Amino acid sequence: MATNNGDQAQVAAQLAERWEQDERWAGVERTYTADDVVALRGSVIEEHTLARRGAERLWDLIHNREYVHALGALTGNQAVQQVKAGLEAIYLSGWQVAADANLSGQTYPDQSLYPANSVPAVVRRINNALARADQIDVATNGTATKEWFAPIVADAEAGFGGPLNAFELMKGMIAAGAAGVHWEDQLSSEKKCGHLGGKV
């Protein structure tokens, strides 16, 4: 686990250098500096291994393949079966969670009516199932015979509110191990299914 107790100026300089040199950050425009980011960190920096590894793998896949095969998974077992079948990425749709996997246990339309932490909870469940498949593989074969941790791209809807809601949702996605997250560019309070017209 990394700490943020060193020279903050040095840590900020290293972060700014990564932003400048890593192609991952090319074209990103920021309204803040690396110093601003470092100043907001606490003394302990959590290592979100699943999210980091997944994001790196997803980045590699989308930059080195013409396309990446993926299907939507609603359960951990579905995800395990997809990886067994050779799929290299998993998609988790908000409409799936609204209909069948939200934390309220209700069935909703695709309008962000379900609890905001539902998608991160399903991401965590899927990663737990993939971790178990990996453990069984290693226990049985002495090593992993495949890459079980397929990157998960998750639907964050329109953020479930204002900037703080979106911030907390993204923290939950990272902690759960999401490799990628997409957001709908529409007013959260007027959210409509992405396939429908009349969005604000």
**Tens of pLDDT, residues 138-174:** 999 999 999 999 999 999 988 888 889 999 999 999 9
- Check the CA dihedral 82-87-92-96 and report its sign: negative
Q: Nearest 5°: phi and psi at 2?
A: -80, 155
- Summarised one tens digit per residue, pLDDT across range 8-61 is 889 899 999 999 999 888 999 999 999 999 998 888 888 999 999 999 999 999
Catalytic one of 193, 197, 198, 200: 193
pLDDT-based confidence at 135, cuts 50/70/90? very high
- Which H/E stretch holds residue 182? strand 180-182
Which residues are 89's β-sheet partners?
70
Q: Write the CA distances from 100 to 117, 119, 128, 138, integer angstroms.
A: 14, 11, 19, 32
pLDDT-based confidence at 2, cuts 50/70/90? low
Q: Indicate if 121 belongs to the active site.
A: no
CATH architecture of 48-190: Alpha-Beta Barrel (3.20)
Res 194: pLDDT: 59
- The whole-model pTM stands at 0.84
Res 36: pLDDT: 93
C-alpha of 58 from chain center: 11
Domain residue ranges in the chain: 1-45, 48-190
Distance of alpha carbon 162 from alpha carbon 165, whole angstroms = 5
